[in-house]
């Protein structure tokens, strides 16, 4: 039995350039999408700042990062209240594949639980053998790598409701909570990866590991009001990435990397030889 798949994207009110970019993609793909206005640092309460942000909390976050987490929580809340069984959540710098409508049709048959990360990364991910096919071209694999970015993902309503009840981690970036199989939600939700990917963050789209044809990227962004501003964003973020990486992020990612790469004896053996966990490069499909 097919279900209605909700499609949401998160966008800051003042980023009209990104809104134009995303809605041009939705129109091209024939998709009906609900916009969720992103939370800003000005929207945070004094308690949220005191409990989660530097300098009040050791290893805390910047207010903008807490606002980002709250934006995703609002998307989960909107979805849970909609009555739909499955949804896809996008950030406003997601480059979308022409296969997105086909994937949504497959998701309409329902999910088996958990979260499915839909976007490509520029580094290999440890993935189990496929445990579900979505049509002829897509597979769902259990994710065993802590990975950043919440550019595009699908989830079902029970998972959204579980995260709304359990989520108490505003002092940690939302992507390092939801897409971290060794993190604070371990054992509560199952984290999966779609292969191949049907979305990619524009910041990664130009990297050869991701598999985006440069001419295709140029065609999709040419003429868009957002194109020049997005390009400036990407250059600025690329230059400041390592400079602005907080000590808290380094500690969390190192701890997750140690759990991932140096799992003691039986666990690593089980993953590699019984569950078929191997490193895969997840590429974007046009």
Domain ranges of the chain: 5-205+213-280
- pTM higher than the cut 0.85: no
Percent of the chain beyond pLDDT 70? 75
Instruction: Give me the torsion for CA of 210, 216, 222, 227, rounded to 10°.
Output: -10
Tokens of 45: 């309460």
Is it the case that residue 39 has pLDDT exceeding 90? Answer: yes
In sequence order, the 6+-apart residues with CB closer than 8 A to the CB of 185 are 163, 166, 177, 178
Residue 46 or 135, more confident = 46
Confidence at residue 46, expressed as pLDDT on a 0 to 100 scale: 92
Tokens of 102: 């086909």
Provide the strand spans (E) within 181-271.
Answer: 191-195, 199-201
Structure confidence by residue, pLDDT tens digits, 214-243? 666 655 554 444 444 554 554 454 444 444
Band the pLDDT of 22: cuts 50, 70, 90: very high
Any idea which fold 5-205+213-280 has? Spore Coat Polysaccharide Biosynthesis Protein SpsA; Chain A (3.90.550)
Q: β-strands 138-143, 191-195: how paired?
A: antiparallel
Q: Per-residue pLDDT averaged across 114-135, rounded?
A: 90
Is it the case that residue 28 has pLDDT exceeding 80? Answer: yes
Q: Choose the weakest-confidence range: 67-71, 76-80, 167-171, 229-233.
A: 229-233
Q: Per-residue pLDDT averaged across 177-205, rounded?
A: 88
């Amino acid at each position: 039995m097919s279900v209605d798949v909700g499609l949401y994207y998160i966008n800051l009110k003042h980023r009209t350039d990104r809104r134009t970019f995303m809605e041009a993609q939705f129109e091209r793909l024939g998709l009906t999408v609900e916009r969720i206005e992103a939370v800003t640092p000005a929207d945070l309460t004094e308690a949220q700042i005191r409990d989660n942000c530097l300098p009040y909390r050791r290893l805390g976050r910047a207010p903008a990062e807490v606002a980002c987490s709250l934006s995703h929580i609002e998307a989960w809340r909107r979805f849970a209240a909609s009555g739909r069984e499955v949804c896809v959540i996008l950030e406003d710098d997601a480059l979308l594949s022409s296969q997105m409508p086909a994937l949504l049709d497959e998701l309409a048959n329902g999910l088996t639980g958990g979260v499915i990360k839909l976007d490509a990364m520029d580094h290999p991910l440890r993935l189990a053998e496929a445990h579900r096919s979505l049509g002829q071209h897509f597979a769902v694999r259990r994710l065993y790598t802590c990975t950043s970015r919440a550019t595009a993902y699908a989830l079902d309503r029970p998972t959204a409701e579980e995260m709304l009840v359990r989520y108490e981690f505003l002092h940690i970036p939302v992507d390092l909570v939801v897409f971290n199989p060794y993190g604070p939600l371990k054992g509560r939700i199952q984290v999966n990866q779609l292969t191949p990917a049907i979305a990619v963050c524009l910041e990664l789209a130009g990297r050869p590991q991701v598999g985006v044809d440069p001419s295709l990227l140029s065609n999709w962004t040419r003429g868009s009001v957002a194109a020049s501003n997005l390009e400036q964003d990407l250059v600025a973020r690329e230059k400041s990435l390592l400079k602005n990486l907080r000590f808290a992020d380094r500690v969390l990612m190192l701890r997750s990397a140690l759990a991932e790469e140096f799992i003691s004896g039986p666990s690593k053996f089980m993953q590699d030889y019984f569950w078929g966990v191997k490193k895969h490069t997840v590429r974007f499909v046009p």
